[in-house]
Amino acid sequence: MLDLLRQFLRAEGVEQASARLLVAVSGGSDSLALLHMLCTLHRAGGPTPIVAHLDHGLRGAESAADADFVAATATAWGVRAIVGRAHLPPGTTPAEARTARYTFLATTALAEHVDAVLVAHQADDQAETVLMHLLRGAGPAGLRGMRARVEWSEWAAALIESGQAPPHGPPLLRPLLTVSRSELAAYCAAHQLTPRDDPTNRNLHYVRARIRHVLLPQLASENPQITAALTRTARICAEDYDFIQTMLADQWPNLIVEQQSDKVVFERAALMSIHPALRRYALRRAIAELGAEEPGLAHLDAALHLIGGQSGRSTQIAPQVTLVCDQQTVTLHLPSALPPPAPQLTTPVTLPDRGIVPLANDWQCIVQDHPPAHPDRWWLGLAQRPSAPLQLRPRRPGDRMRPAGAPGRRRLQDVFVDLRVPRMLRAAWPILTTVDDQILWVVGLRVAAGVAASEPNQATMWIGIVHSATTRQE
């Protein structure tokens, strides 16, 4: 086992004496065995371990005793121990405790200038994680379980996003994922170590405890090698996931029209041309690059359905991330990337064959023959050039239109309600019409049937509504 750890550290480039490793030690058998092995390697000229322990304060005197035990053990073994105290309130969930623990590890790692942070998750923990994700309906990303190496940008993402941590820091390493719980317990016994016991691990109120003490034993009666089988599944899914990410990286430049810190714009046709599975991962990557939380499968599937449907629709795909599907593009954006509301019209405006018409509040209407570089929902390419001037006007009582892709005529009021346009904006929302008042376009929202060109290069005229704060004009 010691050789396995040495090989792992060598592969990660942190086996040398100058390396500083922050080791998360709870006092249980897994982390105690890991610390003992690291101390053994250190005495033989290996890296320097530094112990990190967080007392969550959830078990009163028991958790305080755990902290004292870890500190005393570190002192006895000749290494430094950094003990933090969180004072979490009663009823704190395991997920909340984990967040506090990893926040402590991240801040301590930065303060100590370590080369890596080590945690003692082992093969049985991996099997439990895979099974937990399987029960939730995860795909390859979830079924890979825990990874042996997680970069700082991922495991400290919450701190980075909140401005509490820099964008670069040490990786999180799990050197024991191929070692079983029983092997680590045997190591402790062989070296006369006396680990602490956390009764929370047996509390069947928690999902992981039920998986560990109820579900896995039942599965083991069918397959005694269930832990090995689940860890093998994790390895296979990890390899598949890496392959998918490689394919996506190759396709990414062909999919992206524009990418900024607060928005990612896909070319809709390119996105639709790739396999649905890869399309899902493209959305996941875009959300990750916006710094948002991982979306659920239901939100992803709803977004994929929207992308394959009508233009001009939007949905919230993840917390703080909105997906907008236009005729030519699919945009994922944070609230900071929202364009100003559409111009509010109080009187009709006649449009020229070509040119720019100023509108209120720094908006303008552009009429041109050539397509813009990046046509979004604020641009309309007409299939036929009108025989008479068009006009922009506000909504009128009784307005109806025949939306593209929808059966029959619809009241404009219903269109606004369906799209959740704020009530205060509806009356003066710009509407593009013909001289005989046929509605062609509810600007930025809905196009009438037969109006839009099927391809950008087939449009006879382009009409765009552009704000000075945006870059829609080309």
Residue ranges of the annotated binding site are 26-31
Q: How far is 430 from 425, CA to CA, in rounded Å?
A: 10
Residue ranges of the annotated binding site for ATP are 26-31
Give the Å distances, CA to CA, from 92 to 20, 27, 88, 89, 97: 32, 21, 7, 6, 7
Q: How far is 367 from 80, CA to CA, in rounded Å?
A: 71
Q: How far is 453 from 374, CA to CA, in rounded Å?
A: 15
Residue (of 13, 189, 46) closest to 37 by Cα position: 46
Residue (of 425, 273, 275, 255) closest to 331 by Cα position: 255
For residue 305, the Cα-to-chain-centroid distance in whole angstroms is 19
Give the Å distances, CA to CA, from 388 to 63, 351, 353, 395, 440: 80, 10, 9, 21, 14
Q: How far is 428 from 342, CA to CA, in rounded Å?
A: 9
Amino acid identity of 471?
A: T
